[in-house]
A and B are shown apart, each in its own frame.
Chain A
Amino acid sequence: MRQITLSTAVNEAIAEEMRRDETIFLIGEDVAEAGTPFKITAGLVEEFGTDRVIDTPISEPGFMGIAVGAAMTGSRPIVDLMFGDFIFLIMDQLCNQAAKTHYMSGGKLNVPLVLRTNMGATRRSAAQHSQSLHAIVAHIPGLKVAMPSSAYEAKGLLKTAIRDNNPVVIFEDKLMYQDKADVPEEEFLIPFGVANVKREGSDITLVGTSSMVQVAEKAAEILAAEGISAEVIDPRTIVPLDMDTINASVRKTSRCIVIDEGHQSFGVTSEIASRLMEQSFYHLDGPVIRMGAMDVPIPFSPALEDITVPTPEGVAETARKLMAGEMYHV
């Protein structure tokens, strides 16, 4: 099968959907001629023109508000938010308007909007351009949240998001834009709320999101060499969250580490760990362990930045302790 980068996969998804549905338009900073800083939307303005690929000033609340209004009145906007960190600028448009309009209009209005943005540290982009803020969005009822872990998921999930009649936020890991993966040439969609068992195992479950799926897979390789069989699960969307698959895995292995690049406290890891505790308590042979980014602003210093986020070695070491019954806090 052909291999393409995550960046190309996103570009293909947008182009295919825009060809299919004329009500779709793309809006954001530097999305037209510049093709965004990550060159994701390169070539789209040439095919679809400036009416459907719209460059905006540096005005996140403004273009997000435009998009929400357009979505309410028949268009299907795709908003490009250059860095996930800027989501704090558009919280009212996203959380108070887009998320609640369908509910508050008694179902009379829909907001078929896709917000594409990114996450991920270790790009030396410092504290205001390195955050992973998906948990904040996932906290708000009315918003769906997708977290692709490869080019394949990026394309399949984005096409599903664009066809959804409700607001969806997609967080792409900015470190993965040049990572290649097998992506079919023919059309495909990936449904929301269906986790992917990336690797089967019997001793411990590693649930990873986005780039942490790769971290979990590498940790599983390390552990396999030591005789520990790890199962790796990629939820693919955190809202909706496929607990059936995660519960089934943990009931098999009795142990679980949840790995996510958001800050560890009050985050995705906490949510999944809590649900496991509620739903699979009597199947747990050890505590469910959370591994997220340290609860500090992401440092600019490379040496410090690299140790704030989970690594394969760190996950493997935690798994060893969990297997040995040593993850015990007095």
Chain B
Amino acid sequence: MSEVIMPALGMAQDTGKLVKWLKAPGDSVATGDLLFEVETDKSVMEVEAQADGFLTHVSASDGDDVPVGKTIAMISATADNAVATPVTKVEPEQAPTPETMPTVVAMSSTPSTAAALEGGRILASPKARRLAAEDGLDLGQLVATGTAMPYHVSDLKTLRDLPASSAQTVVMAATKQITARCKQAGSRDFMDWMKADGAITVTPTAMFTSFASSAWRVATEAPTIVVQLSDPDGEDTYLRNADFTRLSVPAPETDEDATFVLHDLSASFLTSLRLGDTALPTLSIGADGDSYLITFEFGSDQMSNAQAIAFISGLARRLADPLHHLV
């Protein structure tokens, strides 16, 4: 018989909210099956079963706030005692409940903090923990990188080098905004020239994606850049290292976490878009007369002001004079 406990998903977390059970009492479960969803002050995570058997002795219901570490069910060899008797209703803790806090609901399909924490904890040296706390770093993000525990100070470098955002990132501490404007003429001439001279069709979206990736790479020296290209009408696409691909060829799609979001609004009346459902840096490119209007929003925990300015300046330069950039 194996215990199912409320995992600790944050460093200073007292309770987790059981959003809903994904298995019913008495259901047969296998190791790795998704058992329930839990919401913390940061995100909603899915928790997997750690053993094979039947879900029994269920003692917490959907919506309950459960103290971290508390056993909320068992995985047993038989389906008997599916519900714990008596059913103990968990008292809400005094700690601030998730409802009162700004919440980002981020369901991640990649290996996440939650997966590693089901066993209970992240192992890290006291100094590594202290420095991570001082710098606002989430050691849980190291789990997804496959870095072996226990973590030491040297592993914090890996953490700092990660793309500034991922599914676990909290709502940005403070959102900053940069806007820039550049003439469309340079880009239009370039696209016309490609068409006329080489019969190559370059779409504005492909150009924005490639140039933004390139400018980001120069500004941040990130090794991998994934652009989440938004599509308000359909599925967003995730394009990996678009600046490494020829402009006429679609960049490879990936299921990696995005580095930033790109809204191509150049064919619309909109000039910038931030719908508040992402914690990622967000780049909008709109059209304003014969200019592109570039708007970039980012959190102070994601990049420095200097990096953001370098990014947007680099992007504007590229759009104003693509040939110069490409040559």
Q: Which residues of A contact B (CB under 8 A)?
A: 254, 281-286, 325, 328
Tell me whether B150 and A282 are in contact (CB under 8 A). no
Tell me if B126 counts as interface (CB < 8 A to partner A): yes
Q: Is the CB of B152 within 8 A of A282?
A: no
> What CA separation (Å) do A281 and B127 show in the bound complex?
8
Residues on the A chain within 8 Å of B303, using CB: none
Other than the given A254-B127, A285-B128, A285-B152, 7 more pairs (CB < 8 A) read A254-B125, A281-B126, A282-B127, A283-B127, A285-B126, A325-B154, A328-B123
A167 → chain B closest CB, angstroms: 38
Which of B123, B126, B154 is close to A282, meaning CB atoms less than 8 Å apart? Answer: B126
A328-B150 Cα distance, complex, nearest whole Å: 8
Q: Mark B118-135, 1 if CB is under 8 A from A, else 0.
A: 000001011111100000
Chain B residues contacting A282 (CB-CB under 8 Å) are 126-127, 129-130
Interface-centre pick from B126, B129, B152 (highest chain A CB count, 10 A) = B126
A-B pairs, top 5 by smallest CB distance, nearest first, are A285-B127, A282-B130, A285-B125, A285-B153, A325-B152
Closest Cβ neighbor of B150 among chain A residues: A328
Q: Mark B124-167, 1 if CB is under 8 A from A, else 0.
A: 01111110000000000000000000101110000000000000
Q: What class of interface size applies to chain B in its complex with A? A: 10 to 19
Q: Could you give 14 example pairs across A and B, Cβ below 8 Å?
A: A254-B125, A254-B127, A254-B153, A282-B129, A283-B130, A284-B125, A284-B126, A285-B125, A285-B126, A285-B127, A285-B152, A285-B153, A286-B125, A325-B154
Q: Give Cα A265–Cα B197 distance, bound, in whole angstroms.
A: 82
Residues of chain A lying within 8 A (CB to CB) of residue B129: 282
Q: Are B150 and A325 in contact (CB under 8 A)?
A: yes
A254 partner residues in chain B, CB cutoff 8 A: 125, 127, 153
Residues facing A in B149-207 (CB within 8 A) are: 150, 152-154
Q: Counting chain B CB atoms within 10 Å of each CB, which of A254, A283, A284, A285 scores highest?
A: A285
Q: Annotate B262-285 by CB proximity to A: 1 below 8 A, 0 otherwise.
A: 000000000000000000000000
Q: Are B152 and A284 closer than 8 Å at their CB atoms? A: no
Q: Do B126 and A283 have beta carbons less than 8 Å apart?
A: yes
Shortest C-beta distance, A311 to chain B (Å), equals 26
Distance between B131 CB and nearest chain A CB, rounded to angstroms: 9
- A284 partner, pick from B123, B127, B154, beta carbons under 8 A: B127
Closest CB in chain A relative to B127 CB, distance in Å: 4
In the complex, what residues of A have CB within 8 A of residue B154's CB? 325
Which A residues lie within 8 Å of B123 (CB)? 328
List of B residues within 8 angstroms of A284 by Cβ: 125-127
* Chain A residue, CB-CB nearest to B130: A282
Residue ID in chain B nearest A325 by CB atoms:
B152
B275 to chain A, nearest CB (A): 41
Please measure, in the bound complex, the distance between the C-alpha atom of A325 and the C-alpha atom of B142, giving whole angstroms: 16
What is the bound-complex CA distance between A284 and B129, given in angstroms?
Answer: 10
- A284 to B150 alpha-carbon distance, docked (Å): 13
Q: Which residues in A have their C-beta under 8 angstroms from that of B125? A: 254, 284-286
Residues of B within 8 A of A286 (CB): 125, 152
Q: In the complex, A254 Cα to B127 Cα: how many Å?
A: 8
Distance from B287 Cβ to chain A, minimum over Cβ atoms (Å): 53
A325 to B153, CA, bound (A): 10
In the complex, what residues of B have CB within 8 A of residue A283's CB? 126-127, 130
In whole angstroms, what is the CA distance A294 to B136 when docked?
Answer: 43
Nearest opposing residue in chain B for A327, CB measure: B150
Contacts of A285 in B (CB 8 A): 125-128, 152-153
| Complexed CA–CA distance, A283 and B126 (Å) | 7
**How many angstroms between the C-alpha atoms of A247 and B84 in the bound complex?**
51
- Give CA–CA (A284, B153) in the complex, Å: 9
CA distance A281 to B124 in the complex (A): 12
Residue of A nearest to B149 (CB): A328
Residues of chain A within 8 A (CB-CB) of B152 are 285-286, 325
Contacts of B130 in A (CB 8 A): 282-283
| Residue numbers in B under 8 Å from A325 (CB-CB) | 150, 152, 154
List of B residues within 8 angstroms of A281 by Cβ: 126
Q: How far is the CA of A325 from the CA of B125 in the complex (A)?
A: 10
Bound Cα distance A185, B128 (Å): 49
Report the separation of the CA atoms of residues A328 and B126 in the bound assembly, to the nearest whole angstrom.
14
By beta carbon, the residue of chain B nearest A287 is B125
Inter-chain contacts of B150 with A (CB < 8 A): 325, 328
Query: How far is B150's CA from A22's CA once the two chains are assembled, in angstroms?
Result: 62
- A-chain residues with CB within 8 Å of residue B128 when the two chains form the complex: 285
Q: Give the complex CA separation of A15 and B257 in angstroms.
A: 78
Q: Mark B52-92, 1 if CB is under 8 A from A, else 0.
A: 00000000000000000000000000000000000000000
Assembly CA distance A49 to B126 (angstroms):
60
Residue of A with least CB distance to B123: A328
* In the complex, residue of chain B having the shortest beta-carbon distance to the beta carbon of A281: B126
Alpha-carbon distance between A254 and B123 when the two chains are bound, in angstroms: 17
**How far does the Cβ of A137 sit from chain B's closest Cβ, in whole Å?**
32
Q: How far does the alpha carbon of A286 sit from the alpha carbon of B154 in the complex, in Å? A: 11
Closest CB of chain B to A321's CB: distance in Å?
12
